Amino acid sequence: MKIPPTAFRLFQKAAASCQREDLLPPGSLIVAGVSGGVDSMLLLAFLQYIQKTDSFDLAACHVNHRIRRQEADLDQALVEEYCRARSIPLETVQVDVPLLAQEEGMGLEAAGRMARRRAFEEAAAKRLNPKIHPAGFRIALAHHLDDRAESILLHMGRGAGLGGLVGIRYEDGPYVRPFLDIRRGEIEEAAASLDLPWREDASNRSEVFLRNRIRRRLLPLWEEILGYDPAPLLAGLGSLAGRDDAALEDQARLWLQSALLPDGSLAVPELAGLPSAVQARVLQKYLGGNIKGGREEMDQAHSLSRVHIEELMALLKEAVSQDKREAALSLPGGGRAEISMGRLRFAAGEKI
C-alpha cells in the first residue's frame, strides 16, 4: 500500500520515537489497544506498517465498555471489520463498566481504565509464546502529545510531585506509547489521508469529565491569554521532569541498598542523613516492598501515604537529633513503622 506524504511523515516521526525509547523490541508480541477512535485506528495502521521492517508479532484488543450500548456495538463492529480485512488477530472483550464502577466504588473513568488494562494484559498473556516471543509482550496505546499535556495539568491541579509532572510516559511497565511526540491534529490529518475508518466517541465532547474540560476550556484559554500553544511546552516540561525523576530514582535505589540491613530493617542514621527528596523515595521504595498487591495498588498506596511519609521523615529526624530510641507510627492497612535501637522496620499488617 502506498503511504500518502502526510501519513508517511507521521509514521517516520513515530518510528523515531519507538527507536529512541526502544518501545517495540524485536522478538516481542505487540498488542494494540484499539477503541475505534481516530488515534487508535491510526496506531494500528502504523504498527502494521512498521511491522514490515521490525520483527514483532502484532495483535489487537478492543474493549466494549457497554456504556453507550448501540454506539459501543458499532465501535466494536468497525474494529472487527478492519482487523478481519487486514488479517490482524483481534481479541474483543465486553465489560459492563457502569456495573464495575458501582461494585468497586469508583468513577466511570477509573473503572473503564481498570477494565481495559485487565483485558489488554489478559489478551497479551493468552497469545504470548516464550519460544516465539523471547522479548515478552508490550501493549501499545495511542496516547499523544496533547494527552500528555492534559495529564500534566491534571496532576498539577491535584498537587502531584515530580513523578506527576512527567505525565504520560513513553513506557510504563508493559505499556508503550509510540505517538507521544505527535499532536492530535497530525493524527487526524494522517488518518484522513489514509482514508481510515474511525468513530468519534461522544463522551470526548462531554464536559462532565475533568480531562475534557481541561482540553476544551483550560488549554484554549491559556493559549488565548498568553499568546502561545502550551501543549508542546508542557510536554517538554514532562521530559525534563522525567530525567530528574529517573536520576532521583537511581539515587534512591542505591541508598536503599546501602541502608538495608541483613535483618530487613533500615539503618536510621544513614537514612536520616539523606537529602529529603531522596529520603522520601527510599522510604516509598521500602514501603512498596511491604505492600501486597500489584503495581497499581502500590502506586495508590504511595499516593495515599504521602502524609505518612512526611511524618515518618520527621520521626527519623527526632530519632537522630534527640536520640529517641523507640518510636512508632501507624500506617494505612494496619501496619506500623517502628524505630528501635537505630533501626527502622515495618511491622506486619494486612496491607501497608
What does the pLDDT look like over 60-86, one tens digit per residue?
Answer: 999 998 887 788 899 999 999 999 999
Quote the mean pLDDT of the chain. 88
CATH classification of the domain holding 291: 3.30.465.60
Same domain (yes/no): 222, 322: no
Q: At which residue does the C-alpha cell 506524504 appear?
A: 5
**pLDDT tens digits, residue range 306-330?**
788 888 898 888 888 776 678 888 8
Query: Once rounded to an integer, what is the mean pLDDT over residues 322-351?
Result: 76
What is the 8-class DSSP label of residue 260? B
Domain with 286, as residue range(s), is: 260-347
For residue 338 the three cell numbers come to: 517502628
Residue 22 has pLDDT above 80, yes or no: yes
Based on the structure, what is the number of domains in the chain?
A: 2
Q: Is residue 168 within 8 Å of 177, Cβ to Cβ? A: yes
Residue 304 has pLDDT above 70, yes or no: no
User: Rounded distance, CA 133 to CA 307, Å?
Assistant: 43
In a domain, 330, yes or no: yes
User: Rounded distance, CA 176 to CA 284, Å?
Assistant: 25
Residue 1 has pLDDT above 80, yes or no: no
**Closest by Cα among 272, 279, 278, 280 to 320:** 272
Same domain (yes/no): 168, 100: yes
Same domain (yes/no): 165, 28: yes
Q: At which residue does the C-alpha cell 459501543 appear?
A: 72
Same domain (yes/no): 165, 36: yes
CATH classification of the domain holding 173: 3.40.50.620
**pLDDT tens digits, residue range 72-126?**
899 999 999 999 999 999 999 999 998 899 999 988 888 999 999 999 999 999 9
In a domain, 194, yes or no: yes
In a domain, 272, yes or no: yes
In a domain, 242, yes or no: no
**Closest by Cα among 338, 160, 343, 163 to 252:** 163
pTM of the predicted model, to two decimals?
Answer: 0.85
What is the 8-class DSSP label of residue 25? -
In a domain, 255, yes or no: no
In a domain, 322, yes or no: yes
**pLDDT tens digits, residue range 217-226?**
999 999 999 9
User: Rounded distance, CA 260 to CA 252, Å?
Assistant: 12
In a domain, 165, yes or no: yes
Count other C-beta atoms under 10 Å from residue 149's C-beta.
Answer: 26
User: Rounded distance, CA 272 to CA 270, Å?
Assistant: 6
Q: Is residue 205 within 8 Å of 167, Cβ to Cβ? A: no
Query: Once rounded to an integer, what is the mean pLDDT over residues 279-307?
Result: 59
User: Rounded distance, CA 320 to CA 332, Å?
Assistant: 25
Same domain (yes/no): 125, 206: yes
Q: At which residue does the C-alpha cell 497499581 appear?
A: 296
Q: Decide the pairing of beta strands 90-94 and 326-330.
A: unpaired
Query: Once rounded to an integer, what is the mean pLDDT over residues 161-170?
Result: 92
Q: Is residue 319 within 8 Å of 327, Cβ to Cβ? A: yes
The residue ranking higher by pLDDT, 185 or 302, is 185
The strand ranges marked E within the chain are: 29-33, 57-64, 90-94, 137-140, 171-172, 175-176, 266-267, 326-330, 336-340, 343-347
Write the CB contacts of 179 (distance below 8 Å, at least 6 apart in sequence).
14, 17, 39, 42, 43, 46, 142, 143, 144, 145, 187
Give me the long-range contacts of 290-295 (CB less than 8 A, separation at least 24): 290/335, 290/346, 290/352, 291/351, 291/352, 292/351, 293/351, 295/173
